[in-house]
Amino acid sequence: MTRICTFIYSNGSPMKNYLALVIYSILFYSCGPRERVSKEVFDEVNKTMEVKRVTDAEITQEAMIWGDSITAQAQKNLISNLQKAIEEGGLVHAIGFCSENATELTNALDPSEGVIIRRVSIKNRNPMNSPDENEALILDAYVYNSEQGLESEANIQKIENGEVLLYTKAIIFPSGICQNCHGNPESEVPSEVVEAIQGLYPEDKALGFKAGDLRGMWSVKIPKKSIVNRL
Ligand code: HEC
């Protein structure tokens, strides 16, 4: 618009110049509000692009809070879904309900936040639940703590060049419902359950757990930008 204004003003005879002046005045007034609109747009863009000033400590703290709440919810859903499945169809029927996909939590998380939740274990039933390189470092520390009789704290680790935060939390084997499928195969797990599990998971390493044992750990991978968005 500015270029058109300049072009008309500097073009031709006095008469044309006079005409150009009139046109220019009209354009000037129509240019005016445009400029104001542009400034509003400019301010808006500036506002959305504004860099949030958050510290590393705030990010870590928020990741811890979020990870704690995600895993607490997942654990709660898992147990209540398992209980419901056992009541409805017995233990063999309930075998498919000890998985994150059955917690309904994975659906509850907003996919745009890019959070990945799973449980990993060295003594796993499903080999897909083996830890990856990043998870293994922390799980090894949890195993060490457990062997030494020390408690393991929830942990936040930066991975993928700091773009993702890995929240981890030890899963300590409780007594009760879990023993039906992960306890002593001679005295606690009914033989039809042992059989069904062996059929589905020929490499099963997840029998023989006692209350207080380290069963594995929760792993929640949270993109840093999703954490910043919450602050
Ligand atoms: C009805 C049988 C059943 C019950 C009860 C059960 N689980 Fe499982 N659990 C399984 C099966 C089957 C898998 C493998 C799931 C998969 O394919 O990812 C599994 C997997 C797991 C895993 C993932 C690591 C691995 O071994 O693959 C953890 C951790 C776990 N169970 C802990 C528990 C805890 C804690 C409880 C009690 C709240 C419990 N389970 C109750 C059958 C059961």
Alpha helices in 109-171 (DSSP H): 133-147
- Distance, CA of 38 to CA of 175 (rounded, Å): 66
Q: Which atom of ligand 1 is nearest to the CA of 78?
A: 38
Per-chain mean pLDDT for the chain: 84
- Distance, CA of 29 to CA of 52 (rounded, Å): 38
**Per-residue pLDDT at 99:** 86
**Per-residue pLDDT at 207:** 97
pLDDT digits (tens, 9 = 90+) for 40-72: 665 665 555 556 688 999 999 999 999 999 999
Query: Of 131, 132, 72, whose CA–CA distance to 105 is shortest?
Result: 72
Question: Which of 71, 95, 99, 182 for mutating ligand 1's site (highest number of atoms within 8 Å of CB)?
Answer: 182
If residue 170 lies in a helix (H) or strand (E), which one and from where to where? strand 164-172
Q: Whose CA is nearest to atom 37 of ligand 1?
A: 178
Residue 202 backbone phi and psi in degrees, to 5: -60, -20
For the beta carbon of residue 145, count every other beta carbon within 10 angstroms.
15
**Per-residue pLDDT at 21:** 45
Q: Is 182 in the pocket of ligand 1 (CB under 6 A)?
A: yes
Q: Which atom of ligand 1 is nearest to the CA of 173?
A: 35
**Per-residue pLDDT at 43:** 61
**Per-residue pLDDT at 110:** 87
CA–centroid distance, residue 2 to ligand 1 (Å) = 69
pLDDT digits (tens, 9 = 90+) for 3-48: 333 333 334 444 454 544 444 444 444 444 454 556 666 566 555 5
221 token code pair: 């991978």
For the beta carbon of residue 148, count every other beta carbon within 10 angstroms.
8
CA–centroid distance, residue 62 to ligand 1 (Å) = 29
**Which DSSP state fits 130?**
S
User: Per mean pLDDT, which range of 22-26, 99-103, 133-137 is the poorest?
Assistant: 22-26
Alpha helices in the chain (DSSP H): 2-9, 14-49, 56-94, 105-108, 133-147, 179-182, 191-200, 224-230
Q: Which atom of ligand 1 is nearest to the CA of 215?
A: 29
Q: Which atom of ligand 1 is nearest to the CA of 121?
A: 24
Residue 222 backbone phi and psi in degrees, to 5: -120, 120
How confident is the model over 109-117, as a mean pLDDT? 91
How confident is the model over 100-120, as a mean pLDDT? 84
Give the pTM: 0.80
131 token code pair: 């830890």
